Structure 1
């Protein structure tokens, strides 16, 4: 079993070095993965390293230990906190009992006392881990799934097997409250290739389902059930825009469950519908979003509306279910999958055609499906036909080999154009974000959350495409932009440093000076003097 990860936070580096050297970390089952000299740096490390324990002093520059503890409790509830405090600060620290600090320790630190303290915290972590991974409890929980009759009804809904005229009757009979006004489907896929020891894939999936109930179902009005090995949510929304918040919540959950349980989970968010009878289309979209993990990565949430060219229904509709695999391969742009799906589709057509008339009918239906697929994805099928003027006439006359070659050719070209459309949308989003920064960098509250809210996209999606396209995170870009403006103002004006800090969005003069020095290696005043001398 891996050691628990620890981060040390103290503005005196000699204190950090002393703690590192005096404690037998390995024997305690612990591992120091990082250290920081203030709360701001500590938060950056926590996001990057995802520790189990944070040991922090109270008095530090920029952000003290109590403010750090508040932020950890808000954003990383699973992190255990140990606070060091001087005698004159002890009463002040005890007043913060609502912060749920695990342990308070008075300075100077005694190695024996700290070791005992760490043992107590480790025992708490062991109990939490045991609670989450206890096989027997998971087996008992598996026996206590949702009522079968409700689950069957939900499965029928997402498969599109409930008539619109009948679902109200079933909702009432099964005591299910689904009022909307909008609905959305989310699918959580747990990888079977990353399973902790002494756990089966099925039990791991059940563990993930339990955590979804505890951490997501309570935040939204929704129904949860297991289907085809995945956890599925049917969610009621007050507005279509609420899917942005939903995507961010699911994205944070995927990262948390990987770190705590070791499960690799991908969440797919389907399109919004205004009638529960159409929830099957949202479910198809959610499943399609999950399949995009091969492009966008696992341990995250993927919103189908954010990766298609426009916020409309996907090209894959219920009447095209027979061509689902081919359309999926086109979306992914995988030429090998396109060829394999084409072979299966052509074999299906030939296998079901007992007469020439049937063959012509099937191939004409296939052409119609291509037209609908392109229309719903805002591309023109005629662009891929070359000199073929009437595919409804020409395609049914193709032999098996020619038909396969033609399908592979047009499908491959469609995949390339869809990828180009997605990339174009990504570039537009990045340019929009850069324009927002250029126009509003001086606003103190300008942040990743605010920019995403303005553009109407989730943090998860925007952060991933921004990093992929630019090579840096959005937060780093915003900071660099502000610092470059500040450097120019320092050279072009006689304003004091604190005033320049306010002009680029930093109301705290000390923090502005800290960020500036981190960027340029010297303080604002020294930067001005150095440039003037040169």
Structure 2
């Protein structure tokens, strides 16, 4: 039996405690994950826990229940909303209906009524989950995949097999619209090895594709296909600035797929292009982004522009698959995989009947590829700062074992440089965010969205990196910094609390006092009294 999570929201804590005591939640198939006493705190908890049900009062400080419900319905449309309030007003009820609330309950809450409400809600949730999990439904999704002709056309596009003069006829014959003006490939990878017990990997992958089409397809006018075991979406954007928003939506989708079906999903977002003829490059970079799950982990969306700006579109590996594989190992894998890739590459070019001329060409191509890789990734190495012809000549004179040792050493050097560069990049990234907070904490509009807009990255990537480097969320860091500044002003100045609140980015002095007390355990006025008395 499924157990669903409930978040309770009311500014009267005694009301919440009564509800928690009166109801046998476990017996009804629910568990209370926590409670909040205002809409702002509730929204933070919704973002963190994504509860199945939010039961909220309407009239609350800082953010009322209606505004909270609007946020939840916009960002988490599957979450069920229950309103309970002491205000029996038609306008509230009408607005609750507009928000598609499950129920509108009047205070004082009657336990029998509440049990009936949650009993019916459990039946509805079970039915919805059952429909999604139904094998018959998954098979139907699979049979209703995009028509074969369209799928073939999309796969030909990302393979680069469509010529420009052929496109108008294909679009007309297959009734396809590509309005753009910008395009971006999204690669959705569903793990076939990490699946829920008893689940069919193929049906699970089909479920993920269908859900991606439903949750991402309409807004981004996406064309969907299955390609090399992954789901590929060809999305259409109005501007390049929409990419962070696309990344965040894909990130939420990864968590949604795991919560509903236990699927382990990673999403790669490729580079943006202005023409569908450039989709092969976008697809290639999206697929590379997915491979970075080895570094950043699954259950998330990875934007190639955010994590590897120097590594996309400038491959320089030529057509040699073994050399391309070596560079991939250098970027993503442990040292032993790099050594193995060197062995495979050297075996590939060392066939018995190879002429001396062919050996010279192979060495020349290797030097050129390594040089381009170093330049494209801003790696400075002494072997390439002098006369490259001397390096080329010295390699021609090396015995096979010596050549192998040299290639292993330089490959491992490249790997360490890339690891170091990524680490420095994230630290610089976090430093810029902290510096921006220090210079703009007085701005009440400063938020996660605004700092991501300034930095030009998605919320999901920024939040992951910031918490990894600081151990705190961005909002937590901003709040702590504001409270530290407020505490200093309380001690060092005679300004009124409401002035200090405004100085640190709070227009509502009551909310400022609430946050301050949550941080320091006492009100601003008491904090000032205690600390000024100590100084005296």
**Shorter-chain TM-score above 0.5:** yes
Unaligned 5+ segments in structure 2 are none
The aligned counterpart of 2:184 is 184
CA distance in 2, matches of 1:123, 1:196: 23
Kindly provide the CA deviation profile for residues 335-393 of structure 1, in whole angstroms up to 9, marking residues without a partner as x. 12111211221121124863333233223222222222222223245557999863332
How many angstroms does 1:245 deviate by?
1.9
Stretch of structure 1 that moved more, 130-139 or 349-358: 349-358
Is residue 2–residue 126 contact of structure 2 (8 Å, CA) maintained in 1? no
Helix, strand or coil at the partner of 2:262: coil
Is residue 85–residue 105 contact of structure 1 (8 Å, CA) maintained in 2? yes
Question: Alpha carbons of 1:153 and 1:352: their partners in 2 closer, same or farther (altered >3 Å)?
Answer: farther
The aligned counterpart of 1:256 is 256
Is residue 310–residue 376 contact of structure 2 (8 Å, CA) maintained in 1? no
How many angstroms does 1:128 deviate by?
1.3
Helix, strand or coil at the partner of 2:295: helix
Matched, 1:347 2:347: yes
CA distance in 2, matches of 1:149, 1:373: 39
Question: Alpha carbons of 1:194 and 1:18: their partners in 2 closer, same or farther (altered >3 Å)?
Answer: farther
The aligned counterpart of 1:413 is 413
Is residue 189–residue 266 contact of structure 1 (8 Å, CA) maintained in 2? yes
The aligned counterpart of 1:66 is 66
Unaligned 5+ segments in structure 1 are none
The aligned counterpart of 1:467 is 467
Helix, strand or coil at the partner of 1:26: helix
Is residue 281–residue 318 contact of structure 1 (8 Å, CA) maintained in 2? no
Mapping of residues 40-439 of structure 1, within 5 Å: 40-86=40-86, 88-96=87-95, 97-164=97-164, 166-167=166-167, 169-310=169-310, 313-315=313-315, 319=319, 321-351=321-351, 354-380=354-380, 382=382, 390-439=390-439
The aligned counterpart of 1:522 is 522
Mapping of residues 12-51 of structure 1, within 5 Å: 12-51=12-51
CA distance in 2, matches of 1:131, 1:316: 48
Is residue 315–residue 375 contact of structure 1 (8 Å, CA) maintained in 2? no
Is residue 265–residue 300 contact of structure 1 (8 Å, CA) maintained in 2? yes
How many angstroms does 1:261 deviate by?
2.7
Question: Alpha carbons of 1:411 and 1:483: their partners in 2 closer, same or farther (altered >3 Å)?
Answer: same
Kindly provide the CA deviation profile for residues 56-110 of structure 1, in whole angstroms up to 9, marking residues without a partner as x. 2233333332332222222221111222222x43535313221211012222222
CA distance in 2, matches of 1:467, 1:286: 25
Question: Alpha carbons of 1:373 and 1:174: their partners in 2 closer, same or farther (altered >3 Å)?
Answer: farther
Count of matched residue pairs:
533
Question: Alpha carbons of 1:379 and 1:238: their partners in 2 closer, same or farther (altered >3 Å)?
Answer: farther
CA distance in 1, matches of 2:17, 2:157: 60
Helix, strand or coil at the partner of 2:84: strand
How many angstroms does 1:321 deviate by?
4.0
Question: Alpha carbons of 1:208 and 1:416: their partners in 2 closer, same or farther (altered >3 Å)?
Answer: same
CA distance in 2, matches of 1:363, 1:310: 25
How many angstroms does 1:514 deviate by?
0.7
CA distance in 1, matches of 2:73, 2:520: 33
Helix, strand or coil at the partner of 2:77: coil
Kindly provide the CA deviation profile for residues 212-235 of structure 1, in whole angstroms up to 9, marking residues without a partner as x. 111111111332111112111122
How many angstroms does 1:24 deviate by?
2.2
Computed over aligned residues only, the root mean square deviation of the Cα atoms, in angstroms, reads 2.4
CA distance in 2, matches of 1:36, 1:500: 26
How many angstroms does 1:176 deviate by?
3.2
Question: What is the TM-score with the length of structure 1 in the denominator?
Answer: 0.93
Kindly provide the CA deviation profile for residues 16-68 of structure 1, in whole angstroms up to 9, marking residues without a partner as x. 23322322222222122212222222222222222111122233333332332
Is residue 72–residue 79 contact of structure 1 (8 Å, CA) maintained in 2? yes
Kindly provide the CA deviation profile for residues 393-421 of structure 1, in whole angstroms up to 9, marking residues without a partner as x. 23344343333322221111111111222
CA distance in 2, matches of 1:353, 1:373: 30
Helix, strand or coil at the partner of 1:234: strand
Mapping of residues 2-13 of structure 1, within 5 Å: 2-13=2-13
CA distance in 2, matches of 1:312, 1:292: 12
Question: Alpha carbons of 1:57 and 1:181: their partners in 2 closer, same or farther (altered >3 Å)?
Answer: closer
Is residue 213–residue 222 contact of structure 2 (8 Å, CA) maintained in 1? no
Question: Alpha carbons of 1:171 and 1:74: their partners in 2 closer, same or farther (altered >3 Å)?
Answer: closer
Question: Alpha carbons of 1:225 and 1:382: their partners in 2 closer, same or farther (altered >3 Å)?
Answer: farther
Question: Alpha carbons of 1:296 and 1:285: their partners in 2 closer, same or farther (altered >3 Å)?
Answer: same
CA distance in 1, matches of 2:270, 2:195: 27
CA distance in 2, matches of 1:206, 1:369: 39
How many angstroms does 1:474 deviate by?
1.0
CA distance in 2, matches of 1:195, 1:483: 45
Question: Alpha carbons of 1:503 and 1:383: their partners in 2 closer, same or farther (altered >3 Å)?
Answer: farther
Is residue 50–residue 259 contact of structure 1 (8 Å, CA) maintained in 2? no
How many angstroms does 1:320 deviate by?
5.1
